[in-house]
Amino acid sequence: MQESKSVLVTEDSGESVAAFAELFDEIDINVEHCRDAESALQMAGESSFSAFIVVDDITDSTGLELVRKFSSRNSDCPIVLIADLNKRRIPLEEVSIGWNGCYILRDKQTNYISSAFSWINHALQLAEKEKGGRSSAASDENRELLRSQRLESVGMLASGIAHDFNNILMAILGNTSIARDKIGKEHEAQRFLNIIEQCAERASALSTSLMRYARGEKSDWIPIYLPDHVDELLNIISTGLPGHVMIEKDFEKVPPIEGDSTKLQQVIMNLCLNAGDAMNERKVRSGGQSYMGILSISIQPAQLSEEQIQQYGVLEPALARGFIRMDIGDNGVGMSSSTLQTIFRPFFTTKKSGRGLGLSSVHGIVEELGGFIEVASEQDVGTTFSVYLPCSEPLEDDAHNLPDMLAESAVLVIEYDEEMRRLLALNLQNMDYQVLLVENLDEALAVFLEHQERISLILCGIARSLQQAMRDMESLHRVNARTPIVIMSEAEKAELTPLFDEGLVTGYIQQPIKPDVLIRVIREGIRKSEIG
């Protein structure tokens, strides 16, 4: 007679128990329920359970503490910990090591019940395989499953702390901008402040990219002028290159391209740092002989050959706009012909500590941007990667024609966070705007009613739900619908589409805010309102 199996669910509210029972009943597993840690430990001591599910809402313990106790008594038993998205303070190391289970976030976008069931079902199937004499293969598969689940958990936790991380970056960017204005344009520290600002902006972009990836969203594409983009990155890249490497640039005038700037940065950083590694390896192989590494980067318009058009399936619309070619080359160790055939395959690497994902990611990003990549290499001579990207439509740049709005223009800032209000005020005052600071909508309405003739623009932080934001914007519109409103939010612009569709807002700035973006959006908002 087959031994019956049971899963113990510990959940104070009990709201998930029925759903778990229905799922596990399909695979002939009973579900038992208790509401507190003390009862759960007592039941675990008196009965044998095949798996444990802990929902972190119990009152007499934390979910993590209970998981530790279950794990110490049942080291081989699968355990799932489910916690709310806003519980960000669980240490990452507790998710990665120390217990045979996985961590699942409970939010509106996650079917946590199905995820927990699937993971436990798979883990129990692997355990059965081990009993059947296939323990080695099953153990390897189980380890891979656990590893992937833990990596997913770490990624979701990292996504959960993005809000705090972005606030820190905002403080860095804001104070750096203020410091640069205070010390004067000719001060020697300007160069270092620029690097700090660029690194913080890159960190912000990476954080945003991580959030998009975690939510399965597509990134926003923007026009990019490649020579300027590469120049900015080289300030960061140069600090990571070996001391014996010099950089040579040759940038021709080219039209802009269109794409995700963060992913394009990833392409350039990967190729340049790989080149640095290749030149460093050649330096080591030279045995102390005199060697100077050269990282060469060139950008120029490209004329595609018929062979390239056929090989890479280039379509007519892209051909009509034209292509740009960016070459990134080095005089490092080079590669053999056999290595060249496999460098873009996932997990292929020639480095002892490499993961084999860098060039695979580069290849995927370039294809996503509508381009292609070619490589030429010779051992002990060097390597050149040629990245071909389609041009976008030419842009009209009217940045130099924007009027300078002086002290007669007042900006009403609505922001609940005190540090953010201070930074916004300092940056706006440096632009010669009068600034009216308020903490909430009630204060904003009172100030707006009194000073609506002086207020040229409203800058409003969105920290609550979209529905509440729409009600707030409608209240401001009832005072004066002609005054432009620019919103600040960590959310993607696509998530705030109803605000634009209803004509409630005229501009958007994603947090953490970059000073140059703040200046551009505010000036453009005021200029359009005056023309209108």
* H helix or E strand, kind and range, residue 325: strand 323-330
By C-alpha distance, which of 103, 106, 89 is closest to 19? 106
Structure confidence by residue, pLDDT tens digits, 314-359: 877 777 788 999 999 999 988 888 778 777 775 545 554 444 346 8
Q: What is the CA radius of gyration of the chain?
A: 28
Q: How many CB atoms lie within 10 A of CB 269?
A: 17
Mean pLDDT of 47-70: 78
Per-residue confidence (pLDDT) for residue 154, from 0 to 100? 54
- Lowest-pLDDT range of 125-129, 159-163, 259-263, 496-500: 159-163
pLDDT at 134 over 90: no
Per-residue confidence (pLDDT) for residue 464, from 0 to 100? 58
Please, which pLDDT band fits residue 182 given cuts at 50, 70 and 90? confident
Q: Where in the chain is the domain with CATH 3.40.50.2300?
A: 5-160, 399-531
Fold of 5-160: Rossmann fold (3.40.50)
- CA–CA separation, 306 and 318 (whole Å): 14
- CA–CA separation, 421 and 427 (whole Å): 10
Per-residue confidence (pLDDT) for residue 225, from 0 to 100? 86
Q: Which amino acid is at 443?
A: E
Cβ-in-10-Å burial (0-12, 13-18, 19+) of 193 comes to middle
Per-residue confidence (pLDDT) for residue 357, from 0 to 100? 47
pLDDT at 168 over 90: no
Structure tokens at 128: 């059965």
Structure confidence by residue, pLDDT tens digits, 461-479: 876 567 777 888 888 888 8
Q: Where in the chain is the domain with CATH 3.30.565.10?
A: 224-390
CATH of domain 224-390: 3.30.565.10
Phi and psi angles of residue 334, each rounded to the nearest 5 degrees, phi first: 75, 180
| CATH match for 399-531 among 3.90.1010.10, 3.30.390.50, 3.30.390.10, 3.40.50.2300 | 3.40.50.2300
Q: How large a percentage of the chain has pLDDT more than 90?
A: 11
Please, which pLDDT band fits residue 61 given cuts at 50, 70 and 90? low
Q: What is the dihedral of CA 211, 237, 334, 287, to 10 degrees?
A: -130
pLDDT at 91 over 60: no
Mean pLDDT of 64-83: 80
Please, which pLDDT band fits residue 187 given cuts at 50, 70 and 90? confident
Quote the Cα angle for 412-418-424, to 5°. Answer: 45
Mean pLDDT of 46-51: 88
Q: In what order do the strands lie in the sheet containing 245-251?
A: 245-251, 293-302, 323-330, 382-390, 372-378
**Between 268 and 200, where is the model more confident?**
268
- Lowest-pLDDT range of 64-78, 215-229, 413-427: 215-229
By C-alpha distance, which of 382, 374, 267 is closest to 325? 374
Give the mean pLDDT of the chain: 77
Please, which pLDDT band fits residue 300 given cuts at 50, 70 and 90? very high
pTM: 0.43
- CA–CA separation, 160 and 88 (whole Å): 6
Per-residue confidence (pLDDT) for residue 338, from 0 to 100? 78
Per-residue confidence (pLDDT) for residue 58, from 0 to 100? 60
CA distances from 417 to 155, 276, 429, 511 (A): 27, 43, 18, 13
Structure confidence by residue, pLDDT tens digits, 391-439: 985 433 433 333 333 345 688 999 887 778 877 887 787 777 788 989 8
Per-residue confidence (pLDDT) for residue 405, from 0 to 100? 36
Highest-scoring range by mean pLDDT, 10-19, 308-317, 353-362, 460-469: 10-19
- Lowest-pLDDT range of 58-62, 504-508, 510-514: 58-62
| Three-class SS of 149-186 | HHHHHHHHHHHHCHHHHHHHHHHHHHHHHHHHHHHCCC
Structure confidence by residue, pLDDT tens digits, 121-130: 877 877 776 6
pLDDT at 92 over 90: no
pLDDT at 192 over 80: yes
pLDDT at 500 over 60: yes
CB 330 within 8 A of CB 279: yes
Per-residue confidence (pLDDT) for residue 421, from 0 to 100? 81
Please, which pLDDT band fits residue 59 given cuts at 50, 70 and 90? low
Highest-scoring range by mean pLDDT, 101-115, 196-210, 293-307: 293-307
